[in-house]
Structure 1
Amino acid sequence: MQQRSEQWHLIRKAKFTASDIVNICGDGKTFETAVYSKAYEAILPESQYLEMCLNARSSAAMQWGNDWEDTARQEYEQRTGAEVTQVGFIEYTKDSGGSPDGIIESLNGQIEIKCPYEGTNHIKFFRIKKAEELLDLTKDSKKYYYQMQANILFNKSEWCDFISFDPRCNDILRMRIVRCYPNDKILKIIDESIPKATEFKRQIIDDIISNSSNVITEEKELRI
């Protein structure tokens, strides 16, 4: 299954995916908003959901990342000698899963590619020595760290290489590779957050179904 295809989008529909898993790893408004978002996806017709996905990826930054991802993957293979296999969606539970940017089957590893639209972010990524520094580096870098940890969990991988790629830089500076290993504390948080979020999502959907049945009765009563 090719990533970003209609089939790929549909299999992700209403699921808690690695790319936004950080949003359910806590309490409060962020958790609530993330779960409501997935409940909304669940009630949408497929055609409307696909249109929403298309609109979401139409930003200049998103398009930049998509345009350069294949080039970054090829350069990673050249630099490391690793053979990267592209994958679709790896299901973890019925309501969760992830899509790493590639797996290295012979080494039980995987990769996560970022092609920053803002060059300053690439420089920030280039400075780091350990993947844990991503937890407090840029606006989105914590999300990237949790994304890698989630995919490590979902795919039972031993590591994930974080790759920052900027084709505007010279050959030496255009790619930074930092290896990320399993973080037991965060893996536990992710593993415990998924069933909690799943249960809340089901409660929301059940309430919607129940109230939608009541709407007809309520409208009839209003007409009397």
Structure 2
Amino acid sequence: MELNGTKVGVEMKCPFNPINHYHHSQIQSEADLKRVNSDYYWQVQMNMLTYGLGAWIFASFDPRQPEHRRLHWAICYAVPEDMQLACDIMEKAKHYRDQILNEWMFNNKNK
């Protein structure tokens, strides 16, 4: 998808609970998304990192709402500091995984 000539991704949520849609309707920025639902914030940030995009649309849709409240969306921008934090954590996780695999292979090799 393109927005003003720039490629962006889209994350669409259709919450079962209308309260969640209400909370989503309070989101106007990536900072709001992080405050309202940090899991979705990190999902959006990691999607931007994965696809190399600088912006992502977070949208919430509830067909049970009146027409003017059914769809809410906000543009969320990449937060380089948080992306770096996520990369650092993934690197530590990879190192830990490799350590466990190496220990397991060593122990099974000597049996």
What TM-score comes out, normalization by structure 1 length? 0.45
Q: How far, CA to CA, are the matches of 2:32 and 2:94 in structure 1?
A: 30
Of 66, 81, 84, 1:170 maps to: 66
| 90, 98, 107: which one aligns with 1:211 | 107
Secondary structure, in 3 states, of the residue corresponding to 1:179? strand
CA distance in 2, matches of 1:164, 1:146: 16
Match of 1:130 among 6, 24, 29: 29
Cα deviation code 1:73-124 (max 9, x no counterpart): xxxxxxxxxxx4xxxxxxxxxxxxxxxxxxx495211111111121101001
Deviations 1:151-201 (A, max 9, x none): 111211120000111122122211110100011210111122221111111
More helix by share: 1
Aligned length in residues = 110
2:22 partner letter: I
Structure 1 residue 118 corresponds to structure 2 residue 17: yes
Measured in 1, the distance between the counterparts of 2:10 and 2:27 equals 17
Answering whether residue 49 of structure 2 is matched by residue 157 of structure 1, we say: no
Write the mapping of 1:36-47 to structure 2, written as runs, cut at 5 A.
Answer: none
Asked if 1 retains the 8 angstrom alpha-carbon contact of 2:26 and 2:32, the reply is: no
Task: Tell me, in whole angstroms, the C-alpha distance in 1 between the residues paired with 2:8 and 2:44.
Answer: 11
Structure with more relative contact order (C-alpha pairs < 8 Å, separation 6 or more): 2
Given residue 95 of structure 2, which amino acid in structure 1 is its aligned partner? E
Query: What's 1:183 paired with?
Result: 79
> How does the TM-score come out when normalised to structure 2?
0.85
5+ long unaligned stretches in structure 1? 1-83, 85-103, 218-224
Cα separation, 1, equivalents of 2:32 and 2:64? 24
Higher fraction of strand: 2
Give the alignment's Cα RMSD to 1 decimal. Answer: 1.9
